[in-house]
Amino acid sequence: MVLDLPFIWAAIIAFAVLAYVILDGFDLGVGILFPFFKEKHDRDVMMNSVAPVWDGNETWLVLGGGGLMAVFPLAYATVLPALYMPLVLMLLGLIFRGVAFEYRWRTRRGEFLWDIAFAGGSMVAAFTQGVALGALVQGIPVENRAYAGGWWDWLTPFSIATGLALLIGYALLGATWLVMKTSGPLAERARGYALKAGIGTLVAMGVFSLWTPFLEPLYFERWFGWPTVAFSLLVPLLVLGCFALLVHGLRTQHDSRPFLAALGLFVLGFAGIGISFYPYIVPASLTIWQAAAPEESLAFLLVGAVVLVPMILGYTAYAYWVFRGKVDPEEGYH
């Protein structure tokens, strides 16, 4: 049996991106919500809830980005020039946010500066990720196997809207994480934010489900052609089911259900993007087979991935198991 290595690697990269979005999404969401909690004690607990896992969550970003460069070099060389600005801003946001985790605990006089770095870095990273996604969805012009657009082509109403939508979605993940990991008044306030962010996320998913098919004939055919139209009919029902589970969990204080429901919304959204894109890695320009590295390189790298990915999964699962349960508000990770 001959393995379709480009398809296998596309699935691995897609999994790494999804893992990053849902894992780093909630700790970015905690940072997005940071300005809405004024008490120092609340902020300390919020940071402590994600401090043991935030850096491990970003492993998936490294795997996704590095894997894209290694196994789909043409896509990497095409997408990166189109998205230099939002991606650089994203990395700067992640750097400021990461440094804030350590330095915020080392000072009292300058603590407010690291609060700003943590919240601002989280917001910038989330917004620019959404902008980059929107720019990719709306299409990247390619001629002679190279980016053929301008420096500011990524900046459009659609990409700005996707940036704002991802801010709301990450805020939902962050709020439901706080519901699951904290207690007392902090958790109660997080419930309120989770409901508001859940409504915002639901509205955003509806808006983009109506907007996206008209950006590109490929999307329209994929969403309304057979047999993928069956998925188009099923997704709204699944989204409403996840939203109902979210609301029910918040009202009945089943604290893990809202977080699982929020993850379900992101998985459904990601699946929709995947169905819209396939078989393209750069929509309507490059398929996964056109952008792939030579078969020998893909096979060699796959051996490493077979070892590395289970190790990352095992480490991640172990970290979440060790730090399971509610955060003790009187104790800290640091």
Distance CA 157, CA 77 (A): 25
Q: Spell out, as residue ranges, where the chain has pLDDT lower than 50.
A: none
**Beta carbons within 8 Å of 140's beta carbon, 6+ residues apart:** 78, 79, 82, 147, 149, 153, 282, 283, 285
182-224 pLDDT tens trace: 988 999 999 999 999 999 999 999 999 889 888 888 888 888 8
pTM of the model: 0.93
11-54 pLDDT tens trace: 999 999 999 999 889 999 999 999 999 898 888 899 988 888 88
Angle at 124 between CA 122 and CA 126, to 5 degrees: 65
Distances (CA, A) of 116 to 32, 123, 176, 206: 11, 10, 22, 32
Distance CA 105, CA 142 (A): 47
Burial class, 13, CB count within 10 angstroms (exposed 0-12 / middle 13-18 / buried 19+):
buried
